Every structure is written in C-alpha cells, then in structure tokens.
Structure 1
Amino acid sequence: ASMLAARSHADSSINERRLRPVYDYLDNGNHKKALQEAEKLLKKQKDFSCAKALKALALVRLSRSDEALAVLNELQTEAPTDDATLQAMTLCYRELERPELVVEAYERATQKEPQNEELLSHLFMGYVRVGRPREQRRTALALHRLRHKNPYYFWAVMSLVLEAAQPATAPAERSTLLLLAQRMVDKFVKEKRLEAEAEVQLYLMVLEMQEKYQEALDVLHGPLGDCLTSYLDFVPQRKVELLSKLCQWDQVNSVCKSLLLKSPDNWQYYQQYLDSVEKLQASGWTPETDTSEDGSGQLSPSVDHTYAMALAFIDSLRESGKGGLLRGASMAHVAVMVREKAGPDILADLLMDFFTRTGHKPSCLLDLSYLIGLCAFSSEDTVKLVDRMEDSLKASLPDDWQRPPDVSAMQRHLTVCQLRHYMSNGGHHLSLEDRLHVARDIFASYQHGLQFGVDLLPTDFQPADNYAVLAGCLLLEHWQESGDCRLLLRLLVALEQALLHSPSCFQIKLLLLKIYARIGAAGSCHHVAELLDIKHIQHDTLGYLVTPVYLKAGHFQAASANMNVALKLFTGNYKDTTDYLIACYKYGSFTKIQEMMRFRERLNNSLHFALLTADKMILELLLEAKSQESLKQVLTSMEIDPVNDKVEWSALTDNRDVRIFREWGATRRKLLDEYLERTRQEEILWLRVRNLLLRLLAACHQLSQLHQSVQPSPAAAGGDCAGNGRPLANGERAPGGSTGGLLAVATSLLDCLREAAQEADSMPPQPQPYPVLCPQPGRLGPFASGGCLKVLLASFQWFLDLYKLSEELSTEAPTVEIKVGDGLVPLVKSMVSKVKDLKVDSLHSTHVFLEALANAAEVVGWCSLVAAVGGSLARPVRHAVAKKGKKKTKEAGSTDEAPQKQFVTLLGELEAAAADLHAVVGQAPVDLLTTLVASINLDQEDPFLPGTNEVNKQVRQRIEQSYADSFKELGAMLDSKLKLLQSLRA
C-alpha cells in the first residue's frame, strides 16, 4: 500500500510539472498558447483529464464555447474525481454561467467516491449555488455520517429552514419541515453537543419561525443563552423582542429600564420602554404583592406602569448627567407628553428647551423635525415655534445673529433657517423678490461660515455646506415659478463654487445633478455623476438620476457606457451573492443566509434593472443595426422571445433612493409618497411599452424569416422548395415554426401595445412644479403626447398588413384594391411637425425640445427597423410570380407588384420625414446655442458668491457643449437611419 501511495504521489508530481506551463499561460491571459500546450499534452496522453479541463477553459476564454462544452461533456462521461480537474471544470462552468453542470460533475464524482469528504463538501456548495435545499440537506447529512462534525449537521438544519421558507412550500409541509429542524437541534441540545454561538442562533431562528416565542425565551434564559454574544446588548434586545410578541409588558418594561440605565441615550430603547408603559397603563396593570421573604418575586428594576412614573425615570436619567448631553432622554420627555395629550403650548416649551440644549449639534434639525411631526403641529404652530427660536438667537447675539462668531452659534442659526424652510413651508408665502432676498442672505451666511472650515481636509464637509444646499432648494423653487434663466445660471455657478470649497459634499452634487437634468444638460450631468462616483448598489438606488437624463438628451454613447457599467452589477448579482452564501455556510453565519437571498431577489426583480435591460437592447438596435443583415445579427444575438414574457411583473421592486435628499416637512413627505407611487406606475407602464416593442420586432423578424423560407430562391430553376430540396405542397410551411401561430402572437402583442398606449393617454399630466427631492418625470408622458406611440402602432400594423397581403399573394391574387400603410405616413408627419412647432425660449423649454427631438429620432429609427424587416415581404412576391411559368392576367400582375410599389412610396415618405427631422437637428445649434445661450449673459448680474468668474465660464461652456453633443449624436443616428432607408430601395 505504501508503494502504491508513493507511486501515486510521484504521478501527481509529474502531472503537476507537465501542467505548469498551461496554468502559467492561463494566468497571464495567453489563452491561445495555453490551448496549444494542453493539446500537446493530450497528444502524448489522451486520457489526461486535467489537461482536457484546462483545454476547455482556454476555449471558453477564447469565446469558443461550443467546442469547450463538447470537451466538458466528454469529461462528464469520464467522471473525474481529482480536485485539479474538477476545479478547472468548475471555472469553465462558472464562466459559461452553467452552475447546474458543476453539480452534475460533483454528483458523478461522489458516486465514484462516496466516502470523499472534500467531494461531498463541494457538492453541497454546488447545490447552494443552484438553490436546491433538499439536495443540500441530503448531502450535509451524508457528510455528517462520514465525519461527525457539528457544522455539517447544522448545514442540514439550515437547509430544512430554507426548504420551509420557499414560496412554493405548502403551509402543512412548512410546519413539518420546521418541526423536523427543531427536533434535529433538540437532539443535540439533550446530548449537550451544541458548540458554537451560530448553532444557538439557528435554534432561535427555527423556534421563532414556528412562533414558539416562549421556548425561544427559555433558550435565552437557560445555559444556551450564555453562548450568545453580549455585543451591543444582543441578548437583552432579543428578550425584549420576544417578550413583546408574548405581550409580557411588565418584563419588557423592566428589561428596557435596565438597558437604559446602561445606555441612557439609546432612542430605540426609549421607544420600546414607552410602548410598554402605554400598554401597562391602558390595561390597568399593577404589581402583585410580593409574599416571599427575599423579594425574589419582584422584577428588577421595578416596573413603571404609568406615564408619571416614566417621566420620573426619564428625568432622573437626564439629571444624572451620565453619558453627557442626553438627546434621547429629552426626546423621550416630549414623547411622553404627546402620549399624555399635552397642549401645543406645553409641547412648544419642551421643544424650545430641547433647542436650547442641543441646537449647537447638526443632529438637532433631524431630532426637531421628528418631534414636530410627533406633536402634529399645524403650520401656524410650527411658524410660531421657529419664530421663538429665532428670537432666542437675536437675544443672545443682537448684532451678528446672522453672522455667528463660532461654529456652535452658526449651527443654531442654520437649524432655524432649515426649519423655517422645510417644516413650515416658509418660502411659499413670500413673494418671488422676498424669496430671492432670503436666498441672498443664506448665501451670505454660507460665505461667512467658510472661515470655520479653512483647515479641513478635502474629504471633510464644510460646517456651512447646508447653507448652500438650503439656498439652492429655495432658488430652484423660485426658478420653477419664474422661469428666469439667468437666476438658474447664477444658482449653478454658486453651487459649483461651493463644491470647490467642499469637494466631498454629496448633497451639493445631487442638487447640481437635479438642476442640470431639468435643463437637459446631460454632459454637465455626466461631469457631476463622475464626481459622485456612483458604485455597486448605488447603480440601482441612484441610477434613476443619471441614465434617463442621457437618453432624454440624446447622449447615446454616455447612456450606453453608463448602462454597461450598471448592468454588470445586476448580471454579476447571482454569482456574487452565491459566493456570500457559501461564505455564510463556511463560517456559520446562518442568520445572514435568508437576508442575503432576499437581497439577491430584490436586485433580480429591480424595476431599474428591467428598464436598463430593455433600454440597452433598444439602444443597441438603434445604433448598431445599419443594414438588414446587421439588424438580423443583432436580433439573433439578443434572443428575444416574442411568445413568453420573462418579466416578473408582480415581483418588480422600486429601489429608488429619494430620501437621500434632505426633506423633513410632513406635507412634502406626503406629497413625495404620492408622487413616488405615481412615477412607479408610470415606469412600469413604460417598461411594458419597451418590452412589447422588442417582442413585436422579434416576432416580425421571425415572420419575415419564415416567409422567406417558403419563397423560392431567385437562383432556383423553378418551383418552390423546402430546405432539403423537396418541393413544397401548396400551403405547406418550411420547417422552423408555425406562421399562423406566430402571426397570432404578433397580433396579440400589437393589441397589448395599443392598450398600453390608451392607458398612457389617460394618465393625468405631471404636477408642476414638484418638490426638489421628487424624481424627474419619466419618459412616458412626452413620448405619448408627442404622438410617438401612435406612429409605432401604425408601423407595426403596416408590417402585419403587408405580411397578410404577401401571404395571400403567394397563393392567389386578391381582387380588392390593396392599400397598406396609408395610416402611417400622416402620423409620422404629424409627429415631426409637433417637434418643429416647439418654442425654445428658455433653458427648461430647451430640455423639453431635446426630449421631443430624441423621442422623434428614436421613433424614426423604429420605423426604419420595421421597414427593414418588412422589406423582404414585398420583394419575394414579384419573384414568385415571375417564376411560375403560368399565364397571368395584366390585372393580377399589377396586383402582385402593388406591395413593392407601396413599399417604395412608404420609404420615400419616411426618408422625407427623417430628412425633415435631420434639418431641425442641423438648424437647432444655430438657433439655440447662438441665440438662447448667448443671450443669457451674467456679466451685469450680481453673483450670489464672490470670485465666480472662472466658474461662470466653465458652467456655460459645459452647458453649450452638452447641447452641441446632443445635436451631434441625434444627427448621427438620423444619418444612419436615412442610409438604412435608402438601402432598402435597392
């Protein structure tokens, strides 16, 4: 045996030495050389499985996937068991995105070596990757039988939990699975074999999923509770949660008091404490008389069962001074008085006291906004409160209360300014001139406050940054009502100047992004977005601020690059989260597994992801399809399924983060929620439209291909032929699909698009103006009102009419007059006319004009694509008639040529419309850049901040360049579509 082992080790060393060059070439990215080296080894040793696997890996990286799969299939039949081969195969399948084949490889390997712990462990992780909890459990138990290790046993328990948590699991089966999981852990508890904290946490999870809260509480109180970490009061906090579910409010109260004595500024503990007091007082609970001699029947600390007792406890914490300035205790005092239904005057006094204590802290604004909402103050009460706060500032600093001498005083003044605007809607009762005066004062306070951040690092925020943000919000609202272009440019210059003082202030960047988006300056948006450095999950939460702006302004290259980066997050989501799941199993972080799976599903079902995917495909079609052949290639590579809708509509999640903008007013929050729901519905409808357009185009393409397959080749000697040379019987279809079924699918999709268009037309217009923090209106409204959807409906209807006509002509000539596409041309002309009639006299109207122009250019692009697909339907009919060798009447011959003539006429009309639109694009830079932008001169205007001359030039140049780039890219796209339309005449 020792000799065999030595020989095996020697063989392994030799193989490793032979494979070293292949590994080196793969690591260095020289995949062609790696392939050559692997093939050399296989010539010498045909059954060298690891060399085969590395050959497959080289083929995968050379984009020769079919050849790689052939090699891998051969390996699968051999069922290798050595780790090097299996790891190489795993790499191949991961890069091919075929994780189920990794499982198959390890299943075959474990059948050969069922006692191999390493292979079984890899098989378990393979099942984790593909989400098969039942097989996970079976493999984990096999591992535990082989090596009696606790982690393997609890992998099986966790697999049971996941199986129970699956949506498809019936309630009865779920209960059975969870009970089985509990009994498995109970067995280890009785045998005292629980070793790790993660195992106890999993036990608690199983009990809570069954709503066995008392048993979970017993675990925490028992010896197993000692295994749990005390980090951040984990055990007491879990006790509070369980006791709350059991409605044992006296014990909740006692535990919360003990937590507050240790952490007297923890607001979460105060909320739980006050909830327990409310429940106890409402139920009339009183402590039972303790009859035991040692007082063991009493809870410690004692229970506070009335608000009076709660106030006494809170005041004792506040007066003790433990932990410094206790914001939590002061807020809890206000919360108690609110629950006691105190009057507005008493509550206002408490809030004034809170402002006096904590007004010098940046957190004071958030605290006060929460408390004002809690007190349910009216607008008048809020204004009175803010006036009192302002009077207190004037009393303490009579001469320079607006130009405070230190940071603390400045923060108090800033808090008052922000409260006046956000909480009391302070700017809305002012005239435009007064609002402008207030904004000037705030910018002056900002300039004064810069002295307090002179020595800060570039990564630090300036203490006065929020002055600039507040002034920006005020002036943006002012501009929405007045439409003053010079005012908006002055605001942009001031914010860009503020950004130079505080390069890391994301609030200023976000505000700039919003303003540039509202004037259609996509190039300036791109500059700010690069400064924001949006990464990873932010592509989902903040992507709505960037990508639509590029598409609306016709910045297609920037949009494409942005979408490529963003889509990497979503396409890599499954792989990345699976790696995290495997790490959770390896390190026993069972409580994070379901959380990670929910995160993965939320990303997979992201509305933004679905929109990005559709928009990226449409953009690729518009930019890359420059001929019939390239259109065919692009559509084939996209693999669009016209029959099956792959979007999980009911599961779509809106992950937009709008609350990153600072807004605390209750009325604005309500407006935001309404607006968010409205925009969500609009975005879903917009996604439906985009999805239907793609599927319709794919269906039309497939119909065109099927039609061509049943027409004779121009080179044929005569007669209709199938692909194998066999003549087709009358009405027979070539292999590859049913035209009747596909035509029904296309007709159904067109009906769905018509319904979506009607729904879009019935939507009320967006409210104007809308709050700063609300997302910009989506693309659906302007797209529908501009007549774009009507043109698209007519273009696809034209194709289907032409298809039906060509099918009729291929069998017998109809006797009725043929008119195809008559409704399309007037709609295209009307759409272009609407764009030409738009008046451009401000920066906002420039944004409207650019969006309308981009929409019209896209629709012309769609029409050219549909025409390219339909072009093959008109021509073959004439060939078919010419080859028949049968006598036709003159009328029948002219009927056969009618589709071709009408097609040429339609192409001419589309070319004219595209040329007309192209002329608008060509003339726009002259009208817009030389007239509008040049007229907005700030030389005679008083800037909001000093020293902004250079910034002023940069802002103007970026806006002008952005508009110029928009016209350039729109012109280029229209050029390519004109060439496509002209090529269809041939």
Structure 2
Amino acid sequence: MPSAGETTALVRSFYAQRRARLSPTDLRAIAPICSALEAHNSKRALLLVDQLLKKSPADPSALALKALALSVSSSAARVDVLKVVDTAKAANGGAALGDADVLMLLTHVLRSVGQGDDALELLAEAVKKHPDNEDLSTEAFLQHVRANDRKGAQQTALRMSKHFADDRYFWWSILSTILAVRDLANPNPDGPLLLSIAERQLSTRYASSSSSSSSSSTAGGEGGKDVEGAGYKTADEFHLVTRVLELRAQYSAAAASSPTSASSSPLVLPSLPRSTTTTTTSSSPASTLVAHFSSPEADKWCATNLGLELWRREATLAYGDAGAWEREVARLAGALEKGDTNWHTMLYLIRLSVALASSTRTSSSSASPSSTSPSSAPSSDAPDHLSRARTLFRHLATEGPKAKVERGYLLGLVELAREAHAHGWSDYEPLGPLVEEYVTRFGTKACCFDDVRPYLEVLGDEDAAALRDVLREVAGGAVQTIPAATKVINAHKMLRFLSGETTAEGEKAAADEFVRRYFEAMPLGKDLPTTELQPADDFALLAGQALVSAFHLSHDRTYLERAIVLAEHALQHSKYKYQLRLLAINVLRLVGAHSLALAHYRTFGVKNIQHDTLSHVVLARAATFAVEQGSGGGKGGAQAQAGVWEDALATEAWYVGGTREAGDMVVKAFSYGAYVKVEDFAAFRDKLDASLEGALVTLEALRMRVVRGQLDPDDVDEAVEDVDKLVKTAAGQYSDNRDFKTLPDYQPKGGNTIWQQTELAVRQDATWLRAVAGAYARFLSPSSDIIGVEPPSSLTRSETALVAFAQNAQAALVASLDEAPKKEQAAVAFFKEQGELFATALDDSATLPWELVQIVQVAFEGFALLELGINQRLDELASTKAPDQAKHQKRLRAFRNLAREPLKALCVKLTAHGKKVGKERAKFVAGVQDLTQFEALDENRITNVAHAVTESRRSAIEALGFAIHRRTAK
C-alpha cells in the first residue's frame, strides 16, 4: 500500500497535468475526488468517483482515480483493484493506453499491489500502440528504471534516442547502457555488445559535431583548427563518456580470451587526438582511457571538478603505462609544491612512484593491463622516483610553509617507508623512526592514533620496542591542558595496541589507571556546553575495553559490571559520545539487561539508511528478548514500553519504504538531468535490495512474531514467501552494509576486536540466515522438500539444536501413523536437551546472563514452531482430503502435548532463576566495590546502576517465563 505522502504527491501531480488537458467541466468533475484522496479519505473518494462513473462509465481519469482509491483503502481486495485497472485499459477502445497521466496512476496502482510486471507490460502495450507518443515513451522508460529493469530501460532509451529529437534521450540511452553493464561481480553476458553500441552512438555524435565544427571553422578562415564547440559541453557529458571508456577497459581486462577487445570501428571523441582516433582499432581500451584522461579536454574538466581529478589519478595508476605514470607523478609533485594538501594527491604520488620503482626493479616495462608503446617507455632514472618522492615530502614536512600544521607530508614519508617495507626494499628509510617522529610532532592531534594504526600493525619487534619506550614516557605526562591530555590518550592507545599477551589482573590494572586518568582530566571540560564531548572521554572508552578484555581472560562477570558503571557515569557528562554508548549497549546486552541497552540505542534517533547500517546493534538475535512485560500478558509498566519488537517493526517498515524511495531517487536523477548521480543512486539501491541486514531483520521479525504468538493466519502465506526467498538466495548475493567501525577498537593487535568480544555469540552471517530460514521453512511448509545444510559455526549451541529439531519435527509431522511415535520421540528430545543445557549453564559461572535467556527462548521458539507446523500440516491434510485426517489430527495434538511437558519443567527452572536474579543487586554492588575509591563513583550511584541492571534482567526473565506458562497452560 502506498504511503500517505506518496499518494498526496501523486494526486497533485495528476491533477496539475489534467488542468492542461481537460475541459473546465471535466476538471471540475474530478477535483472533489482528488481533494478527498489528498485528505486521505478513500471512502469519500470512492463515493464521488462512483457517482461520476454513473454519468461517464468509460471516463479514463475517473477509472484511474478509482483504482488509486481502492489501492489505498484498507478494506479493498487486490482482485477489486485489478478489475478496475482492466476496465480502465479496455474503456473507449483502449483510449487510456494513449494517456500518459492515466497510465502513470494505473502503473503506480499495479506496483502498489505487487503487480510490477503487469505495470511494465501495460506500458509496453501502450508504447506499441502509440509509438509516436513521446510522453508515453518517457513514462515507460522511467517505469523501467523504477522497477530496476535495466534491459528494458536500455532498449526503450535506445529507441527514444533514435525516434525523438530531444538530446536528453541520447544520454538516457548511454546511461542506461552503463547501468546495464556496471556490475562487474556478475558481468552482463551482453556487456561487450552493449558497450559497442554505446561506442557507435558516441562516435556518430561526435563525428557529426566535429564535421560541423570543421566546416564552420573553414568557412571562418580558421583552417583545420579545433573550435570550442567541438568539445564536451558539460562535466556530466565528460563523466559519462569517461565511464563508458572505463567499462570498456574493465571488460577487456576481465576477458582473458580477448585482452584487448578493441573497437571494430574508429572511436571518435573530442578528448582523443586525431592520431589516436585513426588508430583506435589497434589500441587497447585501457590505453584509450589513459589517452582520454591525458587530453586537454580532461585537463579542462578535471581542473574544476575534484571528483574527475581523483578519478583520473586512479585510472592512470590502474590502466596507465610507465610513461603515463611518470607524467602523472610530475603533475602531482607540481601540485604539492604549489600548496595542494589533499591526502589523495600525496597518496597517489606515492602509489605511482612505487609502481614505477617496482616495474623498473622487476625489469618490466609496465605493470598495467595495457601494453607499453616505445614512445612511452620509462626514463632511465625511474628507480630514483621513490627517492625523489621522499625528498619532496621531507622538504615539505620540514621547510614547507605549512610544515608545522600539515601532517600529510610526514605521513607521506611514513607511507613511503611502509610501501618499501612491504616490497622488501631494504635500501630505503626504516619505518620505526618515522612513526616515532610523527607521534612526537602530531601526538596532540585527536586523530594521531588512527593515522598511525596501519603502520603500527606492520612495525617490526625492534621498532615496536623502541616506540614503546618513547610512548611510556609520554603516557606518564600530566593532563593539565586539552592538547596534553590528547597526547597522553594517543600514547595509551598505541601502547595498548602494541602490548603483547596479558592477564586479567593486568587488564584490570590498566583499566584502573585509565579510570584514574579519566577523573584527573575531567576538570578540563568543566566549562564546556552539555552538547560538547569531554576531553577525557577516551580514557573511559579505554577503561571499558580493558575491562571487557579482562572478562574474556577470566570469565568473571564483575568486570563487565564495572564497565557498565563507568560507561553510565561517563555518558552523564558526555551524552553524545556515541562510541561509549555503543560499548554500553553491547555490554548491557551481554549481561541480559536488554531494555537498558534499548534505551541507549533509542537516544541515537536512528533514521533512514542508519536502519541498514546500525540496527544490528540491538536487532542481532533480538528474538532472545522478543517477549517483554506487557506483550506476553505479564505485568505492565515501564518495561512494556522498552520492547525491541517496536524497533524491529520500524526497521522492517523502513526497508519497504527505503527500497521504493531508492528507486524514486534514480528516476528523479534521470528526470532532472543529474546524470552523474544516477549510478551512485543505482548502486545504493542495489546494496539496499541485496542487504544482508534487511534479510536478517525480515527473519528476526518473523521469529519475534512466532515467539510472541502474533503470526496471524493471514500472515502465513507472506511468511512462506519470505522464508522461501531467504532459503533460495545464495550467500554471495548479499551485501553486508552493517557498520562495525562505529565502535573503535583499542584492543591489542592480533586478538579479537572489541566488536567480536561484545557481540552476542558469533556474528550472524548469510550462512546463519539460510540455516535458520531453512528450519522455519520446514514448519511453514511441512510437506515440502527442504535440502539440509551443514550447521554453520555462527549458530549458538541452542540454535544448532533448533535446526536439528526442525528436521526431526518435519519428519514427525509428515510421518505415517505407524512410524510417527518413534519420530515424535526423536523430536521431543530437543526440549529435554535444552532443559539439561539450561541446568548445566546455570551452574557454570562463565555463562553469561543472555545465554541463559537464549536457551529457554529457543526452546520456547521450538514449541511455538511446532504448533505452527501442526496447524500447517492439518491444513495440508484437509486440502488433500486425506483418509486418515481425523487420526492424524488426534496424533498431532498428542505430539504437541508431549513436547509441552519438558518445556513446562524448563519454565519452572527459569522462573526460579528469575527470582534469584531480582535479589542480585547487593552482589552487583559488592563486585564493583573497589570503584568507590573514586569520589564520583560513590555507593549510591553504583547502587542505582545495580538496581537498574538487575531489574532489567529480572523483567526479561519474568516476561519470558509468563509467556511460556500462558502458552503451555492448555
């Protein structure tokens, strides 16, 4: 169903177009209907449109508006909508097929009811009947784009470019070709053919333009000189031509059987010199791309467009030869000498210099995909390029006008040394002293650690030891100013990163030191506004990560509780320190206080694309906490408002709307001529369509519905479709857009990252998704054939048992009356095993609170799935009119009761555990008692945190226990 805002915009657009086409009388007739739809009053709109149709039964506008009104009405059935659409198509001998405005409404309605293919067929039929109707063709093209039908869009745009005079259709055709072939991970088999068509289009266009310009210049006495009109008219035009050339080079590099893939006819472009143009048939696509970027036309457009300039550098490195590299190095060096401080300029000067040195040292004329011609062979002093780059950076870092403030020059020297180290070139400056110099000069910059981290990872043992000696002295310094505090924080981050193996006691000592320095530095921010971050925040973040590490070394939960107390205190003084809040969320989930974690998450105000990148923070294995007080019939109160179910629904709804909006963004970019943005928006839509997090949210929301008992019979068919899609989608087709860099990692190198240490078990991936979706498919469609999969390592022990239970349960559901008892016993063993697992985990002090909850939740989920599977199996038996239906019905009810008893026993154990959890506040306070040595962390504050955590844990356990009791009561 379309959103209210979308419907309003659509109706307003339709009415505005009708004003230019309808008579005043006809316009007045549809005005009240449009007003009712704008006011979201579909009932009144239907009443008015029916009155109009009594007078004019074949009015295309009225029929289209009726279809729209039905599509937004909650009471209308899909079949009614489709019936009105068919009527509109056939009315007046198919007059609607020639009306672009009416078709716009009808196709929108068809898409909104899930008939996107029918919408495209309708437009194709309309264009076929009215090939000269430009508005119809335009609407058809935009609908192909919106539906992501790239082949249809390319064919339509190509026909339009030939049939209509508007110049924009030519660029639509070129851009449609780019979209059709851009996915190199899954190359279009027709890619070379489509690119050759685009080449011919471009050559024809510019050959014609060149001829016109030459004739004009000859008539004006200019001889054979180029004139201004022969070049590219806009940066977008240059961009699209460049993209076609780049795709040619990429397809050529990927085609092992035909590495050059030369054009079959000369490629005529304003950016290719005549000598190149006339010999294009023997030039490779890679060399053509480099020649294009080396032209005066490229200089003109790159000078005013940074994006094009950066693209030129990347293409030259990837596809250029040694001669092209030398020219680009000289150009970039000149830019740096003139004051360019862009890190990209420095980085590509380094990469090109390294490429030259590498090609010379290996006695290779070129390391690029293209061949090197004699005219572009490297000069004899190519090995000196690395030394020249080093000399340039050293001069700029020490004597340049920006040497004191610009860190890029010195970082360039460090990067050069790292490249030399990576290539095994021992005759260049060592890396260690340069890193030390960088830290000494720019240690007061907040980004210092992030700058040098890649180099710390490859630092040798001797260099690391020498650097640690320097850093220890810096780390012991006073923190009386913000720059001094920043330098000390950076030193501690580097020392921690370079530290070797440690112990839980060592990590606790480090955490205590970080906490001490945190409170020591807190006065620096006493006068800052509440919206500003505290200079001492990173000390708290370091302490929290050290405490997490101590927990993993000892499995002593009090370390996690210390981290919670510290994070809660720090966030009161720096509420926008999102990195610290993320750490708090992860740790709170580990200790089972999910409602508190959720409250922190909601302060982020996640919007738009953040649902795709950040929702995993609370939705990963969110079914564990799907039942909260108030949802399963337990006590009401504040906790009822803190359930993760609402966040799952909001995120699931965003994916539906976000995918639609992404398609609209591509359409708008075409419509408004923002051609450079089209491919970016298309890539965004592709990532969103293939989002792994989107698929995980779909499954997690379904798991929650099952556990909460909210999977209505009307929703089962949709669930079957969703699960079937998840099972059939290969792991490689997903795009993992989840952001795990928002929480910086300050743990020692070589070990697990802070994300890995604070996630609920092993990270969910595409194999986890497919395994759990397969388990659900067995209950949603018991008689179907589901191929078993090897349980991936990303499953927890309980989840692995659930997948095995699904196989056994399906076998029992479809078993014959004779075989059923044995198979039912094999399936019911799952519940007994989960009860034993819970008892064992409860006695193990290393078990985390969330793990205990998950064991019971998965057992409950298995029971809920069994009930679902029984209902689905009974429906299957009824539909086939099985002769033993009554006996199977009795058997399956007994099967359900057989599974209920061990689950009820497990519920008793959980309830008893929940009562003990409610009394653990004093234990929490005692476990973190040593934090009271810091005045700000007095016992009252610690007690408040302890109370909140224990209550959150207790309420989650109590709600789950009550939900199980209610479900198994009969």
Q: TM-score, normalization: structure 2?
A: 0.79
Structure 2 match to 1:72: 85
Structure 2 match to 1:333: 413
Please state how far the C-alpha of 1:111 moved relative to its aligned partner.
Answer: 4.7
Q: Does 1:246 align with 2:323?
A: no
Seen in structure 2, the aligned counterparts of structure 1 residues 683 and 366 have a Cα distance that, compared at 3 Å, is closer
Q: Does 1:202 align with 2:191?
A: no
Give distance in 2, aligned partners of 1:880 and 1:521. Answer: 52
> Unaligned stretches of 5+ in structure 1?
1-6, 287-296, 395-400, 701-742, 764-777, 807-817, 882-895
Contact 1:56 1:72 in 2 (8 A): yes
Q: Quick one: which of 796, 819, 827 aligns to 1:780?
A: 796
Seen in structure 2, the aligned counterparts of structure 1 residues 540 and 936 have a Cα distance that, compared at 3 Å, is same
Structure 1 match to 2:906: 917
Q: Read off the aligned partner of 1:461 and give its amino acid letter.
A: L
Structure 2 match to 1:472: 544
Give distance in 1, aligned partners of 2:358 and 2:693. Answer: 46
* CA shift digits 1:340-374 (9 cap, x unpaired): 75699964333332222111111211222233235
Give distance in 1, aligned partners of 2:860 and 2:569. Answer: 36
Larger Rg: 1
Equivalent positions of 1:515-534 (< 5 A) are 515-534=587-606
Please state how far the C-alpha of 1:504 moved relative to its aligned partner.
Answer: 0.8
Secondary structure of 1:660's aligned partner: coil
* CA shift digits 1:462-509 (9 cap, x unpaired): 222111100111112123333444443332122111111111111101
Bigger drift between 72-81 and 789-798 goes to 789-798
Secondary structure of 1:688's aligned partner: helix
Structure 1 match to 2:742: 660
Contact 1:383 1:424 in 2 (8 A): no
Contact 1:382 1:424 in 2 (8 A): no
Seen in structure 2, the aligned counterparts of structure 1 residues 90 and 451 have a Cα distance that, compared at 3 Å, is farther
Q: Does 1:958 align with 2:939?
A: no
Q: Quick one: which of 100, 104, 128 aligns to 2:145?
A: 128
Taking only aligned residues, the RMSD between alpha carbons, in angstroms, comes to 4.0
Contact 1:542 1:656 in 2 (8 A): yes
Seen in structure 2, the aligned counterparts of structure 1 residues 132 and 336 have a Cα distance that, compared at 3 Å, is closer
Q: Does 1:267 align with 2:267?
A: no
Q: Read off the aligned partner of 2:452 and give its amino acid letter.
A: L
Q: Read off the aligned partner of 1:204 and give its amino acid letter.
A: T
Give distance in 2, aligned partners of 1:385 and 1:942. Answer: 32
Contact 1:264 1:326 in 2 (8 A): no
Q: Does 1:43 align with 2:54?
A: yes
Equivalent positions of 1:96-245 (< 5 A) are 96-111=113-128, 113-145=130-162, 147-165=164-182, 173-192=190-209, 194-211=232-249, 212-222=285-295, 224-225=297-298, 228-231=301-304, 233-244=306-317, 245=319
Q: Read off the aligned partner of 1:793 and give its amino acid letter.
A: Q
Please state how far the C-alpha of 1:843 moved relative to its aligned partner.
Answer: 8.8
Secondary structure of 1:305's aligned partner: helix
Structure 2 match to 1:30: 41
Please state how far the C-alpha of 1:413 moved relative to its aligned partner.
Answer: 0.9
Seen in structure 2, the aligned counterparts of structure 1 residues 790 and 680 have a Cα distance that, compared at 3 Å, is closer
Please state how far the C-alpha of 1:105 moved relative to its aligned partner.
Answer: 4.2
Give distance in 1, aligned partners of 2:917 and 2:758. Answer: 33
Seen in structure 2, the aligned counterparts of structure 1 residues 151 and 517 have a Cα distance that, compared at 3 Å, is same
Q: Quick one: which of 528, 533, 557 aligns to 1:456?
A: 528
Please state how far the C-alpha of 1:82 moved relative to its aligned partner.
Answer: 4.0
Structure 2 match to 1:636: 717
Q: Does 1:577 align with 2:662?
A: yes
Aligned residues: 855
Give distance in 1, aligned partners of 2:672 and 2:911. Answer: 63
Give distance in 2, aligned partners of 1:878 and 1:584. Answer: 55
* CA shift digits 1:912-955 (9 cap, x unpaired): 2232123223323222212x344322595433754345643442
Q: Read off the aligned partner of 2:697 and give its amino acid letter.
A: L
Give distance in 2, aligned partners of 1:168 and 1:655. Answer: 17
Q: Quick one: which of 937, 946, 960 aligns to 2:925?
A: 937
Q: Read off the aligned partner of 1:68 and give its amino acid letter.
A: V
Contact 2:828 2:898 in 1 (8 A): yes
Contact 2:531 2:575 in 1 (8 A): yes
Structure 2 match to 1:277: 353
Seen in structure 2, the aligned counterparts of structure 1 residues 8 and 865 have a Cα distance that, compared at 3 Å, is closer
Q: Read off the aligned partner of 1:331 and give its amino acid letter.
A: L
Please state how far the C-alpha of 1:184 moved relative to its aligned partner.
Answer: 1.1
Bigger drift between 209-218 and 819-828 goes to 819-828
Structure 2 match to 1:736: none
Q: TM-score, normalization: structure 1?
A: 0.78
* CA shift digits 1:603-633 (9 cap, x unpaired): 322333222222322332343369xxx5x44
Structure 2 match to 1:12: 23
Q: Quick one: which of 835, 838, 841 aligns to 1:838?
A: 841
Q: Read off the aligned partner of 1:977 and give its amino acid letter.
A: R
Give distance in 1, aligned partners of 2:622 and 2:19. Answer: 62
Please state how far the C-alpha of 1:447 moved relative to its aligned partner.
Answer: 2.0
Q: Read off the aligned partner of 2:42 and give its amino acid letter.
A: H
Seen in structure 2, the aligned counterparts of structure 1 residues 389 and 342 have a Cα distance that, compared at 3 Å, is farther
Bigger drift between 407-416 and 170-179 goes to 170-179
The percentage of aligned residue pairs carrying the same residue is: 19
Structure 2 match to 1:886: none
Give distance in 1, aligned partners of 2:763 and 2:135. Answer: 50
Q: Does 1:927 align with 2:916?
A: yes
Equivalent positions of 1:383-782 (< 5 A) are 383-391=465-473, 401=477, 403-425=478-500, 428-429=501-502, 432-555=504-627, 558-624=643-709, 632-640=713-721, 645-663=727-745, 667-668=749-750, 683-700=765-782, 743=783, 746=784, 748-749=785-786, 752-753=787-788, 755-756=789-790, 759=791, 763=793, 779-782=795-798
* CA shift digits 1:261-318 (9 cap, x unpaired): 24553333233223333343455599xxxxxxxxxx9999x98834333332222222
Secondary structure of 1:161's aligned partner: helix
Give distance in 2, aligned partners of 1:314 and 1:229. Answer: 24
Give distance in 1, aligned partners of 2:876 and 2:187. Answer: 52
Contact 1:788 1:855 in 2 (8 A): yes
Q: Read off the aligned partner of 2:348 and give its amino acid letter.
A: Q
Give distance in 2, aligned partners of 1:79 and 1:404. Answer: 80
Q: Read off the aligned partner of 1:967 and give its amino acid letter.
A: I
Seen in structure 2, the aligned counterparts of structure 1 residues 79 and 842 have a Cα distance that, compared at 3 Å, is farther
Equivalent positions of 1:762-911 (< 5 A) are 763=793, 779-784=795-800, 787-802=801-816, 821-839=824-842, 844-869=847-872, 905-911=894-900
By relative contact order (CA 8 Å, sep 6+), the higher-ranking structure is 1
Please state how far the C-alpha of 1:79 moved relative to its aligned partner.
Answer: 4.0
Please state how far the C-alpha of 1:836 moved relative to its aligned partner.
Answer: 3.6
Structure 2 match to 1:705: none
Please state how far the C-alpha of 1:43 moved relative to its aligned partner.
Answer: 1.5
Structure 1 match to 2:968: 978
Contact 2:590 2:760 in 1 (8 A): no
Secondary structure of 2:925's aligned partner: coil
